[in-house]
A and B are shown apart, each in its own frame.
Chain A
Amino acid sequence: MSDHTHTEDPERLAEFEARVAAGEQVETGEWMPGEYRQEALRLIQMHANSEIMGAMPEREWIPRAPTLSRKMALTAKVQDEVGHAQLLYRVAETLGRSRVQMIADLIEGRSKFHNVFHYPAETWADVAVIQVFVDGAAMQTQGALRSSSYAPYARVMKRICYEEDFHIRLGLDVYRTLADGTPRQRAMLQDAITRWWVPLLHFFGMPDRVSPHTEKMLRWRLKVKSNEELRQQFLRKFVPIIQEAGFTVPDPALRWDEASQRYAYAEPDWEELKRVGRNQGPKSAERLALRQDYHRRHRWVREAVERWGLLAA
């Protein structure tokens, strides 16, 4: 694979950029700049990692879900998330890294996953917050990526968004049950909102500096909207969901600015995001250890399947 400093044939590069600028998409096997391939792979691999790690906090709640129907809906949702990981690892694979390698990268801590999945899901209200707000945040990013220039990614994103929409509705049902519930249930939900607020702001990343790199990512449509644009899109939709149910956003500086149609908010601690990104979040080590453990325990299955495949071929 070509590295960052690899220089492309300027004519081919110009032709590629013109095609992408005209709204065309790139298919597997078509020529693409080495840096495009590398960046697309990095993004999609991280997305795939996040789906599989994202299944973990909710999975912990399957045995403890309050009713049978909640348990079944939650199980279905967790299956969707693992399914998303499967779809995305396959797309990443078309860019030149094997799924086996990517799973190893993840559990050995060489690749990243989204910040929100490094935090604990302490109560049942966390499940509501994850389904409404974390999936809601992901939906902003993923919705935009339906017009990604990498065609296999854009296609998979359509399918994923269709399921995410269902997750948010499912979550809103839990959210409203708690919001209409006893004072204790409401207090539990407020507590979860308070704890998740900063990780949710972090989710979209730092406000982009107008760096040549960001510009290139936008020009190549590997990024469709800027971090801040996506964060504002999220706030416009989800702050009212918190406030209209009578809950408080734990940021006294939060206010809607009519003129700019944007929310002003207190700058969160970006150092925390960086720490979490280095797998130093409150649950990073524990969740990676659990994945490693399952990976070890399932080795015999992988070996049996592989041997059977050799026999069947």
Chain B
Amino acid sequence: MGPARRLSALEQDVWAVFRQATKHDPHVYVGDVHASDPEMALLLAKEQYARRDPCVNLWVVRYSQIFATDYGDADMFRPATDRSFRFGGSHRDQQRVYREAGRRRDDEE
């Protein structure tokens, strides 16, 4: 993994906007605004990204505060070895045992 890369913004005053649609949802990056301070960034974010889509909460983050991996390093997200143990598919039998566990006793009663 290369060094953490600061996203370069042409200007100091670019903010990334994250919108949370409902309290059940995570905040999701939706786009940018230009603003000179957080209050202005939030106000513009509300106008630009929450005038139609549902929203309960907004975050704004200065671009200069975001650190990112490099697209050139995207290979590192590809598993080097078999990682099927991370996924449900390799435990299908166990899933059946688990699902049927309660059912058998229910039938007996």
Contact = CB atoms under 8 A, between A and B. Distances in A.
Interface of A: 27, 29-30, 79, 83, 86-87, 90, 93-94, 96-100, 156, 159, 163, 305-306, 308-310, 312-313
A96 B71 contact: no
A90 B34 contact: yes
A30 B72 CA distance: 8
A87 B71 contact: no
Interface of B: 5, 7-8, 10-14, 31-38, 40, 47-48, 51-52, 70-72
A156 B47 CA distance: 16
B3 to A, nearest CB: 14
B36 A308 contact: yes
Contacts of B36: 305-306, 308-310, 312
Nearest 8 pairs of A and B residues by beta carbon: A309-B36, A312-B37, A305-B36, A90-B32, A93-B10, A30-B71, A98-B10, A27-B71
Contacts, number: 50
Contacts of A313: 12
Main secondary structure of the interface of A (DSSP, over half): helix
Contacts of B72: 30
Nearest to A305: B36
B11 A99 contact: yes
22 contacts: A29-B5, A30-B72, A79-B47, A83-B47, A86-B48, A87-B48, A90-B14, A90-B32, A90-B34, A94-B10, A98-B10, A99-B34, A305-B36, A308-B37, A309-B12, A309-B35, A309-B37, A310-B36, A312-B36, A312-B37, A312-B38, A313-B12
A287 to B, nearest CB: 23
A156 B32 CA distance: 11
B15 to A, nearest CB: 11
Nearest to B31: A87
A94 to B, nearest CB: 8
Nearest to B52: A163
Contacts of A96: 10
A267 B11 CA distance: 46
Contacts of A27: 71
Contacts of B31: 87, 90, 156, 159
The CB with the most chain A CB atoms within 10 A, among B8, B40, B48, B72, is that of B48
A100 B14 CA distance: 13
Nearest to A156: B31
A83 B51 CA distance: 11
Question: B12, B13, B36 — which one has the most chain A CB atoms within 10 A of its CB?
Answer: B36
Given A30-B72, A156-B31, A312-B36, A98 B48 contact: no
A48 to B, nearest CB: 13
Given A98-B10, A159-B31, A309-B36, 8 more contacts: A93-B10, A93-B14, A94-B10, A99-B34, A308-B36, A309-B35, A309-B37, A312-B37
